[in-house]
Structure 1
Amino acid sequence: MKIEAIVWLAVSVVILYLVWKTLSPVLSPVIIAATLVYIFYPLHKKFSGQIGARSSAFILTSAVTLMTFLFIIGFAVWMNEVKQSLVYYLNSVFNWLISLNLPPALSELINKLGESISQRFEGYILGYTYSLPKLSLQAIVMVFVFYGILVNARPIRDEVYSLLPAENRDLAVKLMEKTERTLNDLLRSWLTISVLKGVAVTLGVLVLHIVTVGEAIALGIFTVLLELLPVVGGWITWLGGFVYLLNVGEIVKAFLLLVYGIVFVSPVPDMVLRPRVSMREKGINAMISFIGILGGLMAFGVVGIIIGPVVLGLMATLLEEWKETRGVSRS
């Protein structure tokens, strides 16, 4: 019996290893596809009741395909400029923080963090800059996975719940619910609003002819990153642009950017949208989200923005359950 168990264990390990080697090259597009499905699923449900599930999935997949195609074109044309501009913006912020006469230990931490993030980002972008076929292949995988998950979303959910262990089903359900709450707060509120603000910044500086296209895209990405962090926000980008335009004598553009930033970036969108979808008040703790996003970004790249907070949220749930178990056992 022991020999048979060992053989099955060895076979299982080999299978899991081969599965991992097979999926690891396409893990990022699969995660991105699942993320997009989660964001678009409420819209899919609404369309499904009117035109059918497959027609709805086809329309949404066509829209995602078009956005992906435009992204690849933009990546090929402007990515080098975007990379240089974004690294410049990141370094400027970290240099400004270092200049605030903070305690030596904190200044050193900020300096190392700035270098690490800049190097990580450059390496991540360069890995794709010289391999557009790889990026295109991953985009194709993402589109197909998006359609497949969207069409089979309900059966997949039912299958996952059917696989939950009977002995610890309550804990497993809690973890599933925690994951869903975290994803809802992170993706359908905070991240979605952050991306919309980034798009608003990009369009605003382009319409006002303040920067080039690549620099505008970099400012939009920078706005999204700032919005994902606690305390700071996208207002830093339009405020910095306002000060810059005043310094170079572009008074009219400066005040147009000021009004545009207040109305479309911050604080008006926060005042209107935060009472309805506020992750910072109802969802993940700010410190947990900060550590999760930053650590996830450094460990896993862009998809780490999703993985990090979810993993830390699950860990918090496990700790709460462990404390409750200990309390019951002592009583």
Structure 2
Amino acid sequence: MLNNQKASKTARIRERAFWLPVIEQALHHYERTLKHSGIVQNLFSDSQERSHFIEQASCSLVWSEASRLAEDDLLGLRINRLFCPTPLNALALTAQASSNIGAAINNLTRFFPIVSTQVKLEMRLLDAETEIRLQPQGTPHAQHIEAILGYLARLLTQLDLDNQGLVTRVNLIRPDSELVACARLLDGPEAVSAEHYSLIISRDLLDKPLASADPFLLPRLTEAMQDLLANLPSSDLVEQVKRRIQLLLGSGDVSAERVAVPMNISPRHLRRKLSQEDTSYEQLVDEVRKEAAVRMISEGQLSLTSIAYELGFLDPSSFTRAFRRWTDMSPTAFRRKVTQKD
């Protein structure tokens, strides 16, 4: 079900290598180790072990071997109860420092590539609920997706300080006969068999302030996260350029030269390569500004004037004209609409 993408796409995706020690640590619970797998040992040379990234196919092979060694088909869902890696803790700290639950979830989805490049989080507004959909990138192993699902459920539960039932339901690609065991590992939410993986959360709690909020620490954590995000490898040139533009927003200089130099290419070569991708540098800057504007206005933490300067506009009127072009409404009208919807 998850392995229906083109094989060529798999080879292009590189995962954070910290997942290897995470899986190894989890196997200790079963009195097993990846050293018991000749396949894994042959796969990773000393130089590869020192790399910060591994190919998606290699990561999937490790998951397959770990599940076999543990003799546990629910290893992915169980792993969050055994060990929590540092990138997850860093992401959790950023979420916990956010002003409210909605802002925390926005930060989770925004910075999640720091945790995994094989799954993209998408936040979808439903009638009375909000869905966090786990979108596979390439062909990730099912155990990897379920590990992420478990970690996210745990993190969201930590945000629900008053135990009001923030996570109401979890959708999994599992038969009905396995749902009781899955729900037990997820500590409470109803588990439902579906054609995708997602968490359903209560929209009524999105505006709830977090007692853990820290307005002094949050911008510093966010800055660190943005720097990490911009330096993640990406086989997708467009995505790589957009990440670097995001890092430069607010600096007053989002020139193609400032993006091209760290990539060791000339601005002219960068523009030519983007043209081959049917886009342009200016179009990507526009897209990044639009995405950031919608997110910042929805979070409700900054004034519209502050947002204009954060996005690198020379004045608020320029921002208003751009926002009208993007959405056919003014920033003020959009903020009013978002507030009424909440």
TM bracket, shorter-chain basis: under 0.3
Which structure's relative contact order is higher, taking Cα pairs within 8 Å and 6+ residues apart?
Answer: 1
TM-score computed with the length of structure 1 as normaliser: 0.28
TM-score computed with the length of structure 2 as normaliser: 0.27
Q: Would you tell me which structure has more strand in proportion to its own residues?
A: 2
- Which structure has the larger Rg? 1
Q: Would you tell me which structure has more helix in proportion to its own residues?
A: 1
